[in-house]
Structure 1
Amino acid sequence: MVDADRQLSLEIVPIEEAVPALEALLFASGGSEDVPTLAAALEWGQSDVRRALSALEEELRAHPRGIALQRNGDRVQLVTVARYGRAIERLLGIERQVKLSSAALETLAIVAYRQPVIRPEIEAIRGVDSSGVLATLVARELVEARGRRPGPGNPVEYGTTGAFLRFFGMTSLEDLPPLEETQAGDTTGINL
């Protein structure tokens, strides 16, 4: 690293460089980061980081590239777009053999649309024990424990993960398709 580069790295990143600065940090991290961590690294306020993330997200949508900004709660990361997933798998020599049973997909849909949700709520919707399916989804890192719900037994609340978003090629939960309404006003399929 040359002396000029060392000196520049010690300066506060100006807000005008928000989008490229965030893109560089997220690329370098290789994983998800939360807003407070990004704000501390850039020496910005969290609201500035949120505005800059929205600008980065808009730029990536307006000028599609091979990456997208993925949000999961207060965490964000750069991910490759699903369209190029198979080519990336071939490049890296990855065999994709992840298959989900219909019970796992059903449970995953309930968690995605109802999160945070507890196991008894999932079982009430499905009508069967879901502990095994939930354990599988947690092991595959598609679902995670999000804390405990106050009340009798303090049951574990479940929600989806960043891996869930990547698996289904989404950048945020807002990408979930809306539940279709029937003529009676109930949702089709499972009552969520």
Structure 2
Amino acid sequence: MEEADAVRRAARASVDDIEPPALRDELRSFIDGGSMVPGVLAVLTARACAADPAEGVVERAAGVQLIYDGLRLTRRLAREEPWRTGDPAGDMHVLAADVLVARGFYLLARTEAASAAVEVVRAFGRDQTDGGTADALEVDVLDLAVVAGATAGDVDPTPELRSVAADFARGVGPEFPPADSLASADAYDTLVRSVDGAVADH
């Protein structure tokens, strides 16, 4: 899927300057091993909102993707607790999770989606503390993807538009299927209809 490849390249490029090389390789491996659904949904939303691709759309999408990748790694570590078993890779994975989220924030920091990104991380922290639903992160990060994509096209992320993310995320469970699932779910056409409806209502 073309959009998935573009988001993955941008996400990988964002960690090119990370040292030491072992940490950089760990980050790239984790980026390559995950579903690109969050980033691709951000790109599709931006396209549905007629955003100019030259205005950092893929970088926004990569920011969403990196935040998700970092938080899902954090979630996995919280469940596996590798430090209890003396797994030497545990410390590296903790650092990788922090770097992924930080780089995601960096890419979204000067966008209209910055505050939504902060709220995703706060909600994740509350969910991990309170033992919330298994797919809470997935629901929240797809909402962030729609916000990031819509604002790239100067479109208000209305409840109608954001409901597309909620509908797709509902019942997906922990972690996403491959990005091609967005095509089979007609996500782009649904986004276009939601954008057109939001414009007509205002």
Q: TM-score, normalised by structure 1?
A: 0.24
Q: TM-score, normalised by structure 2?
A: 0.23
Higher relative contact order, chain-length normalized (CA < 8 Å, sep 6+): 2
Structure of larger gyration radius:
1
Q: Which has the higher helix share?
A: 2
Q: Which has the higher strand share?
A: 1
